[in-house]
Structure formats: C-alpha cells, structure tokens
Amino acid sequence: MANTSCIHLWSRTRYPFRSHMCVAHIACACRFALDNPVFVQKRIDDKSLCQRQEVIVVSYVQGLMKRIDDVGEDRVMGYLKESRLFSLILQFGELHWKALDDRSLICFADALSLITLTEDFVTFKKEYCDDEDAKRLAGMEEDDWLDNICEEDDVRRKIRPILDFTRECKRSSRK
C-alpha cells in the first residue's frame, strides 16, 4: 500500500525535519478524522472512507515502520511518541473498523504491530500507550477489529505483536 520509493528516498536524506513533517502530516490526518465524526460518517455513507487520506496515511506508517532500520529508529520514534500516533491509529481503528475493508484493517494492525516491535516502544510503552489506551485495548472483545481480521494464519502471524500487546493489556487490567 505504501510507496516504498518515498520511504527509500527519505532514508537517504540527512534532514531530520522530514521525519517530523511526515509524522506530523499523518498525525494531523488521524486527528482530523477523530475530531470530525460527521465528516467521517459522510465518507462511510458514500463508501469512500478507504480511499481517503485519513485511512491511507496509516499505510505510510506501515511502510515507514517496515523500513525503520534503513531510516533509523532514532530519527522517527521520538516524533511518533510526541504525536501520539500509536494512540490515534488505535482510536480510529476502534471507532471505524466496521467501515474499513480487510486490506485497510490489516494495514492498521500491521502498522501498530511494527511500532510495538521497536526498541523505543518496548522501553517507553507508557509514553506510546497511556492508561486510557491500555484500557481500550484491554476492553476489546473477541469480535473487535483485531480479532476480526485474524482468520488467516499469515495475517495472524503478521499482526501477532499487537495481539500479544493487547493480551498483555488485558492481563494488566485484571490485576
């Protein structure tokens, strides 16, 4: 889904502000979608949500995270943390999963999974996923969007990190 040539070019630049600009754009599109439910509902009604920037930007995150070793985790993760992008993607996915196609849902889950695999996320989980996000993950039922796309083994393997993190949140909430 993501244009990897853009990510490849980005990894070759020496300008860290590009990392910030890209993450800021993605976060802005996600925030816009969360702050404007009427706008999103209109796109759901006319069946165009999956072609909208508010959904497509998550594929940018997915592509970026797939190339994180080339780009440099230190160049990106601080911006992801600062913009609360993990939380924004999680909230949008939770609110609108029924309106998204399987391809978009897998992209959302894969982007979240790839973020959870980074050293920075493992070290600073609370800064990426605050208590409210952890409760949101812990409260997900079996029919929620993450489990809804796990029917195929290859998809389950691909998004296993976010599924494991969800189970971790559920265990923590029971304590």
Contacts 24+ apart (CB under 8 A), 128-136: 128/80, 128/81, 128/84, 128/86, 128/87, 129/86, 129/87, 129/90, 129/165, 129/169, 130/87, 133/86, 133/87, 133/90, 133/91, 134/169, 134/172, 134/173, 135/169, 135/173, 136/90, 136/91, 136/94
Distance CA 37, CA 47 (A): 15
Stretch 129-150: mean pLDDT, rounded? 74
φ, ψ for residue 160 (rounded to 5)? -55, -40
The H or E element containing residue 76 is helix 73-83
Write out pLDDT tens, residues 108-127.
999 999 999 999 999 999 99
Q: What is the reported pLDDT for 40?
A: 93
Q: Which residue has the tokens 């992008």?
A: 85
Model pTM score: 0.85
DSSP per-residue letters across 40-59: HHHHHHTT-GGGSHHHHHHH
Structure tokens at 73: 């985790």
Q: Which has the minimum average pLDDT: 41-45, 99-103, 145-149?
A: 145-149
Burial class (CB in 10 A: 0-12, 13-18, 19+), 66: middle
